[in-house]
Amino acid sequence: MDILRTISSPADLRAVPAADLPQLAGEIRAFLVDSLSRTGGHLGPNLGAVELTIALHRVFEVPILFDTGHQTYVHKMLTGRLDQFDTLRTRGGMSGYPSRAESDYDWIENSHASVALSHADGLARNLGRVVAVVGDGSLTGGMAWEALSSIASDQVPVIIVVNDNGRSYAPTVGNPLAVLEAAGIPVHGPVYGHDCGEIEKSLKNASLHDAPLALHIRTHKGHGYPHVLNDELHHSTGAYDPATGIGRTGGETWTDVFSQELLSHFSHRDDLVAITAAMPGPTGLAPIAASYPDRFRDVGIAEQHAVASAAGMARAGQHPVVAIYSTFFHRAFDQLLLDVSLHQLPTTFILDRAGVTGSDGPSHNGLWDMALCSTVPGLKLAAPRDARTLRLALEQALDVDDGPTVIRFPKGEAPQRDGRPESRELDAPGVLDLLAGNPAPNDVLIVGIGAMADIAVGVHDLLTDVGIPSSVVSPLWAAPVPAVLIDLASQARHIVTIEDGVVRGGIGSLIAESLDDAGHDLPVQRFGVPTVFPSHGSRAEILAYCGLAPGTIAEKVVLRLCR
C-alpha cells in the first residue's frame, strides 16, 4: 500500500504521477478484497469503480454525487477514511453509504437508486457545475428520467457520468442511454472504464462544457477479482474467504422459504405471475425466472411501475406476486393505495428485509411498511414468525381474490421451531396462536408481531420470574386486527404489543384503536421503533438501541403495572 497510504484527500491524489495510477488502482483493489472479506459489504460495485473514482477526484473539485451510494467505498478511501474500513457497517463505525457526518465530500446520504440526478439538478442551479455518477441500473428508474428532463430543458450544468457495468443486482433491463439521448443531453463515449488516463482525459474534456452532458464509461462489476465477475451474489456480500470468494453459509433464510413455497404454487397455478424491481436473486424470484420465464417480469429499478403494472395484470385475471425489499416499497405506496386497493385487485406483495435490517443503515431498515399498510382500505397484512407460518401466509394470500395482501419478513435465517412445542391455535389456522401461558382474566396479554414473537416469549418468562401472570399470542394476519384477538384482549387487565416497525401508527396503535372501537377501555403498552432513523449495526444492537430487548420491555411493563 505504498501509494494508497499517502493519500488522505483529493489534493494528495492529484499529486500522484499519472504513471503511478495503475499501481494505486491495484492497491485499492487489494485493500477492498482483504478488508471486505472480514466486514462484508458492496464488493463488486466498488471493484468496478476504482479507476473512475480516481479520475473523478483528480479532475473535479465540485460536488460529486454517487447514484447509488453503495459505490462510494473508493471515494471514502480517497477522502481520508481509509483507516475506518475495519469498522465498516458496524455500530458506531463507518457507514456503507455516503454520510454527511463522516465527511464534507459526502453531499447527500443517498442509498436508494435514481435520486442523485434530482439532487444534482437542485444543487447545480445554485452552486454551478455538479457531477452525478449514475450506475448499477439507476437510470432504469423513472425519477431519474424526470430529473433528466428538467436538467435538459433548463440547461442545468450537470455532468452525468454513466458508470455502465450492465448490472444492478442482475443484468440491467432496457436501454438507459436512450433516455439521455431522448432528453436531448449529448452523450460522449463510450470510454473504457479501467484505464485511468483515458477516463481522466475524457473527464477533463467534459469539464470544459457549461451545458449538461453525459459521459458513457464502460466498466466491469468486480473488475480485477475473478471470483466476483458477473456474480450477483457479490453485489453485497458478508464475510468471505478472499482466496476463493466463498462466503460463510448459514441455515435456510426467510427468502429461501418464500422462494421454495412460491415455486411449488407456480407448478399448479397458471394464473400466478411474479414481478420484481431489478432484484430477482435477492428477493427469491430467480427460480421462477428460470422455470417460468413467460410468467416473470423484472421491470428494473421502477417500483411504482411494478405495482401499477401488477394492477393491470390482476385486472386481466392473473394473480401477481410482487417481491420488493420493504425499504423500497415506500416508493410505490400511491400505486398500492389507488391502483391496487381502490380497485380491489388480488395482488400479493412480498416485503423482504422488513423491520430492522442492521448493517446497511437507516435507509435500508424496513420500519414503515406496517404503519403505511395499516391505513390502506381492504388490505390484509401478514407478519409470519417462522418458516411454517410464512408458508401458511403465502398459501392463504394467494387465495384472496378481493384485494391486496402483504407478507413481510425480516432479513436472515428463518426460525424452524425444531425441538420446541408447537403453538396452540386459538382460531382457524393462521389467525391467532398461543405461544406461552394460558390467557385468563386480569392477566397481562403480550402480542408478539411476526419476528418479535420470540422476544415476546422472553418478556413472558421474565414477568413469570417476578410473579406477574401473562400469556403470549401471535396473530399471523396483523391487519386488520383479528376479532378473536380483540375478544381475548378485552378480558386482560393490561395489553403489551411488540413489533419491529415504527411504533407510531403501527400494529400496536391499530390494536388500541380496534379495542376502543369495540368499546373496551383498556391500557395498551406499545413497543416498537421510535420516530428515529436508527444507524447501522447488527440487528440485535439496533433492537436493543430501540428498547426492544426482553429485559428492557419487561422492566417497563412492571413499572407501568406498579403505578
pLDDT band of residue 136 (cuts 50, 70, 90) is: confident
Q: Residue 367: its pLDDT value, please? A: 94
Task: Quote the cell numbers at residue 285.
Answer: 424470484
Consecutive H or E run containing 525: strand 524-529
What dihedral do alpha carbons 230, 232, 235, 240 form, nearest 10°? Answer: -90
Cα(219)–Cα(25) distance, rounded to whole angstroms?
14
DSSP β-ladder status, 319-325 and 272-276: parallel
Question: Would the pLDDT of 169 be above 60?
Answer: no
Q: Are residues 294 and 271 in contact, defined by beta-carbon separation less than 8 angstroms?
A: no
Residues 419-456 have pLDDT tens digits of: 455 678 888 888 999 999 988 888 999 999 999 999 99
The Cα–Cα gap between 190 and 176 comes to 14
Half-sphere exposure of 528 (CA within 13 A, CB side): 28
Percent of the chain exceeding pLDDT 70 equals 96
Angle of CA points 82, 88, 93, to nearest 5°: 95
Percent with pLDDT over 90 in the chain: 76
Q: What is the pLDDT of residues 211-232, one digit of tens each?
A: 999 999 999 988 999 887 656 5
DSSP strand pairing (380-382 vs 477-479): antiparallel
As a whole number, mean pLDDT of residues 499-525 equals: 96
Residue 8 makes CB contacts below 8 A (sequence gap 6+) with 80, 82
Please report the pLDDT score of residue 233 as a whole number: 55
* Per-residue model confidence (pLDDT) at position 496: 98
| Residue 230 confidence (pLDDT) | 58
Residue 154 DSSP SS3: helix
**Number of other residues whose CB lies within 10 A of the CB of residue 427:** 15
* pLDDT score, position 294: 97
pLDDT at 174: 60
At 102, the amino acid letter reads E
Please return the burial class of 549, using the count of CB atoms within 10 Å of its CB with bins 0-12, 13-18 and 19+.
middle
What number of other Cβ atoms are within 10 A of residue 377's Cβ? 10
Rounded distance between C-alpha atoms, residue 69 and residue 87, angstroms: 18
User: 148 with 128: CB under 8 angstroms?
Assistant: no
Q: What is the tens place of the pLDDT at every residue in 372-410?
A: 999 999 999 999 999 999 999 999 999 999 999 999 999
Starting at the edge strand found earlier in the chain, the sheet holding 213-218 runs: 64-67, 130-135, 158-164, 213-218, 187-192
From CA 405, how far away is CA 183, in angstroms rounded? 38
- Report the chain's terminal Cα–Cα distance, integer Å: 62
Whole-angstrom Cα distance, residue 317 to residue 336?
A: 18
> What SS3 class is residue 364?
coil
- In degrees, rounded to 5, the angle at the alpha carbon of residue 551 between the alpha carbons of residues 549 and 553 is 70
pLDDT tens profile 320-377: 999 999 999 999 999 999 999 999 999 999 999 999 987 877 888 899 999 999 999 9
179 pLDDT higher than 90: no
Asked if the model's pLDDT at residue 268 lies above 50, the reply is yes
Distance, CA of 216 to CA of 162 (rounded, Å): 5
- Is residue 497 predicted with pLDDT exceeding 70? yes
pLDDT given for residue 231 in this prediction: 60
pLDDT of residue 487: 95
Contact in structure between 285 and 274 (CB atoms under 8 Å):
yes
The C-alpha atoms of residue 270 and residue 286 are separated, in whole angstroms, by: 18
Reduced to 3 states, what is the DSSP secondary structure of residue 235? coil
Query: Grid coordinates representing 340?
Result: 391496487
The chain-wide mean pLDDT, for the chain, equals 92
Q: Which of 240-249, 294-303, 369-378 has the lowest mean pLDDT?
A: 240-249
- E strand map for 299-404: 319-325, 348-352, 380-382
pTM of the model: 0.90
Which residues, including other chains, have CB under 8 Å from residue 421's CB and lie 6 or more apart? none
Q: What b/e sequence results for 97-107 when a residue is b if at least 16 CB atoms lie within 10 Å of its CB, and e otherwise?
A: bbbeebeebbb
Residue 503 pLDDT exceeds 50? yes
Contacts of 271 (CB under 8 A, 6+ apart): 317, 318, 319
263 or 169, higher pLDDT: 263
41 — phi, psi (to 5°)? Answer: 145, -170
Rounded Cα distance, 338 and 317, in Å: 18
Residues recognised as catalytic = 221, 303, 331
Please write the tens of the pLDDT for every residue from 43-99: 999 999 999 999 999 999 999 999 988 899 999 999 999 999 999 988 989 998 899
Q: 455-488: per-residue pLDDT in tens?
A: 999 999 999 999 999 999 999 999 999 999 999 9
83 three-class SS: helix
Q: For 482, list phi and psi in degrees, rounded to 5.
A: -60, 140
Cis upstream peptide for 480 (omega within 30°): yes
Q: What is the pLDDT of residue 389?
A: 95
Cα–Cα dist 71/69, whole Å: 5
Could you tell me which of 526, 443, 439, 449 has the C-alpha nearest to residue 482?
449
3-state secondary structure of 496: strand
pLDDT at 419: 47
CA 270, distance to chain mean position in Å, is 30
